[in-house]
Structure 1
């Protein structure tokens, strides 16, 4: 009898355990959410083998089809700079991204290259929402149409998207009187608040340099960070936050699959998750046919105007990003010399970040209008101002103050100007010597300097140039690209070469 009771008790206990397990299983849920971020998309038609809007849209469509729980975001920089955007102020990008809309888009600094009015116009033309929690009018009032934190509930999982723009935008773009609060501080504060308000997943959608990204990672406030700005691919997971820096021109796309496990124990909701990073080389992606048709239409329209040979280069030219932002280049020399020829200035100083072709030209290459406009897509004007040697030296110190970061403020200069730089010295004390036509730059002397209207207004940190005696302003200056095209056409053949104008030690 006791043995029978013991067996019965065992059966009842096993049954009870099975029922308990069944209840737990019923309460536990697994949800797969895919996060796909892109940013820094400039060339609508991409490169020869990868990137571009047709491949980007194809990947987004495929991800959404494979998992309806896909959140597709943009983390800054599409309206500029590009060849076609120089003509239509970025409308081509809006038209193409509208074909596969984002769930959320954050403005990058290049969204403001044509001013805030143009950005607002493009925002209204978009079939997807733009948002940034750290941008307001000067008086703190919100920007009409620019949203804030976005909440999404996916199969019971509450997701908070924290959209944050780069706080250095006023230094490098035309943001008028708009106010940009701290990227990192604003993002972390909002992330913690979203967690307090019940978010299961907190996702940062940001345009920020690596240094900012690492600070946000260290805060432990985010589950996922999708970041743009640095033009490279970075994948990182520290056990707390999954982080992706999203490449350039959609060359590579990194979907992040988050498997979320939701359970309840003792009346308390528990959420755990783990990431899976997938690497997509878009060289292996078949372009979306509908988008490709629109891309070809844009290409045909451009070709009629731009594929006109204006001359050739007898020497190799290099406009790669890592070159024009760190050292003298033949391309920088060519552009600066053309500006001096057009303006009659003593010398020219331009920012390497304004040279955007990111390519090499072999000696003997025929140069077209397209080439020059690809290199100078911003529509900047050649301006001329009288500056003291003190202003020039301070401007040059600013130009070399962030060599290690590959900042766009690095100078490219015309013939006759020679600069020696100690890159290991503290910022502000890096110019070892600076001379013009063999004579040291005299802080008290006045020089006639050609630059671009962006730098003359203090862009890229060239605040030393503001307050100069302006001889030719942006309203009267000619397009830099036009000055270069005229120069090449008149010369017929150009032969610029690195000749020691800038020596970096």
Structure 2
């Protein structure tokens, strides 16, 4: 009798478990997913490494190993930089179309140049672009399919859906007309339920431009996703992560770095409808050992030539290396950040100028030599314009607390959903500031609501007309120059957005910086102690 009750309870428990896990997955089989993420306009090989022509060689080779069972996907942030600025995505999409991409999703940088350029760029794609958490401001869905179904040669039915970062509105200038769903596990679960009931696929793949931490969160909280192919955080994963979710469901996660330097390769093996231990993830380095696909290279060459002609005009001498390395410009004072902020202050005549570190690109030491339009277009590729306004000393303190929130302290539990994005760290001119990262950071959520005031600014001084420095006066008014992105509330700078005094100076920051270079006769700046960080 006890045994019967035990068996009966066991059967009921098993039935309950099966009800919680999508019941549409039964097929055994193998698939290969090839991926590129975060290309950021780097479609050409640099120093015989990276680029779409090399990626095309590997994609073609791997497709031939198992025809019809290999899918090539792109995971957002295709666009950025001079190519995007001048060709609005046509160059990047020409390469991906030639590679016969099967499906893609959106990244935040596709929105950099505004709505018109965004739709122009995505319109060049000859493959479906899926995203399920993107809506217009009024709540209506964006005009992209939430998912697409592909059938492999082995008969397996594969569903692809996409998610874009919830921080879209605060990380990208041109996304004002759109809103991204904030609750990623809920968005993912909604899609699994739709796919399971409507399409009954054998495999569900999430293309996630949300970052590795978000991908882990989704996998831990959602049953039914077999694979997450990721992007946004530029994480180079030599091996995949098998993440256990509800009821023992296992999801395999992989991400292939950035800048088309590596191709992601996920070998997905299913047993009884679940990811088996035979599944794997690796990256293929697109290095000097990989030849370029001549057909793809020839299609992309006209864009390279035209861009070179547009950008080759020299401006002046650059006597020292200029530092745009991501790990530095988003967390410390750099000479390039100082130069650009100085250019803003010079052009506008403002007392103070600030530039978000995430708006200064290249992720490199720009070598000493001759600086040209090509150089500064790489440095500032987003088409931002210069703005000027008036703020109180109290608002200036709030501004710098917002910047200080982007800094990650030694024992700091940084949560991007409650802090300023790291790209929101400000390079400055006309002020000196001391941050203490051991103190409380400003906590501000993705709806720009302050959850806790910051205490990291321990000293803030403003440059005076006579060259001396004076402590900021909370009651005094100061003039300030910055970009339309920052003054419009980007990177959670609602203190400026709510100010209401900012006007456009109707000049691209690229041109303001070029004018400053010509005025000085060289591009030169030092790290001079404007920003001090106590750790």
Q: Identify the residue that residue 4 of structure 1 maps to in structure 2.
A: none
Larger radius of gyration: 1
Q: Identify the residue that residue 481 of structure 1 maps to in structure 2.
A: 510
Q: Identify the residue that residue 438 of structure 2 maps to in structure 1.
A: 424
CA contact (8 A) 1:74 1:104 kept: yes
CA contact (8 A) 2:136 2:178 kept: yes
Superposition RMSD in Å: 2.2
> Is 1:227 matched with 2:230?
yes
Cα deviation code 1:57-103 (max 9, x no counterpart): 22222222222211221111122x21121222222212222212322
SS at match of 2:460: strand
Structure 1 unaligned regions, length at least 5? 1-27, 263-268
Matches of 2:275 and 2:358, distance apart in 1: 44
CA contact (8 A) 2:94 2:300 kept: no
CA contact (8 A) 1:308 1:368 kept: yes
> Is 1:444 matched with 2:448?
no
CA contact (8 A) 1:353 1:408 kept: yes
Cα deviation code 1:33-52 (max 9, x no counterpart): 10112111122214223222
Q: Identify the residue that residue 41 of structure 1 maps to in structure 2.
A: 39
CA contact (8 A) 1:400 1:409 kept: no
CA contact (8 A) 2:27 2:202 kept: no
Aligned with 1:434 (options 457, 460, 470): 460
Distance 1:210 1:397, change over 3 A: farther
Matches of 1:117 and 1:185, distance apart in 2: 30
CA contact (8 A) 2:89 2:120 kept: no
Cα deviation code 1:442-501 (max 9, x no counterpart): 22211110100111111111111113354641xx42111111112112222343111111
Cα deviation code 1:166-195 (max 9, x no counterpart): 111112222233232123320233235545
SS at match of 2:507: coil
Q: Identify the residue that residue 490 of structure 1 maps to in structure 2.
A: 519
CA contact (8 A) 2:226 2:274 kept: no
Q: Identify the residue that residue 318 of structure 1 maps to in structure 2.
A: 323
Cα deviation code 1:83-136 (max 9, x no counterpart): 121222222212222212322211111111122232223222210111111112
Distance 1:159 1:484, change over 3 A: same
Cα deviation code 1:337-376 (max 9, x no counterpart): 11111111112111000001111134x4221111111000
Matches of 1:107 and 1:76, distance apart in 2: 4
SS at match of 2:438: coil
Matches of 2:31 and 2:242, distance apart in 1: 19
Q: Identify the residue that residue 16 of structure 1 maps to in structure 2.
A: none
Equivalences for 1:225-264 in 2 at 5 Å?
A: 225-234=228-237, 235-238=239-242, 240-261=250-271
Q: Identify the residue that residue 215 of structure 2 maps to in structure 1.
A: 213
- Using the size of structure 2 for normalisation, the TM-score is 0.82
Report the Cα offset of residue 302 of structure 1. 1.7
SS at match of 1:84: helix
Cα deviation code 1:259-280 (max 9, x no counterpart): 3345xxxxxx888563122321
Moved more, 421-430 or 456-465: 421-430
Cα deviation code 1:298-338 (max 9, x no counterpart): 22112222123211223331101111111000010011111
Question: Where does structure 1 differ by over 6 angstroms across 4 or more consecutive aligned residues?
Answer: none
Aligned with 1:369 (options 373, 381, 387): 373
SS at match of 2:165: coil
Equivalences for 1:298-313 in 2 at 5 Å?
A: 298-313=303-318
SS at match of 2:64: helix
CA contact (8 A) 2:268 2:275 kept: no
- Using the size of structure 1 for normalisation, the TM-score is 0.87
SS at match of 1:403: coil
Aligned with 1:392 (options 387, 396, 402): 396
Q: How many residues in Structure 1 have an aligned counterpart in Structure 2?
A: 466
SS at match of 1:147: coil
Q: Identify the residue that residue 426 of structure 2 maps to in structure 1.
A: 411
Structure 2 unaligned regions, length at least 5? 1-25, 244-249, 409-413, 415-420, 443-453, 464-468
Q: Identify the residue that residue 185 of structure 1 maps to in structure 2.
A: 186
SS at match of 1:439: strand
Cα deviation code 1:226-257 (max 9, x no counterpart): 11001231233236221112211111112011
Matches of 2:483 and 2:168, distance apart in 1: 18
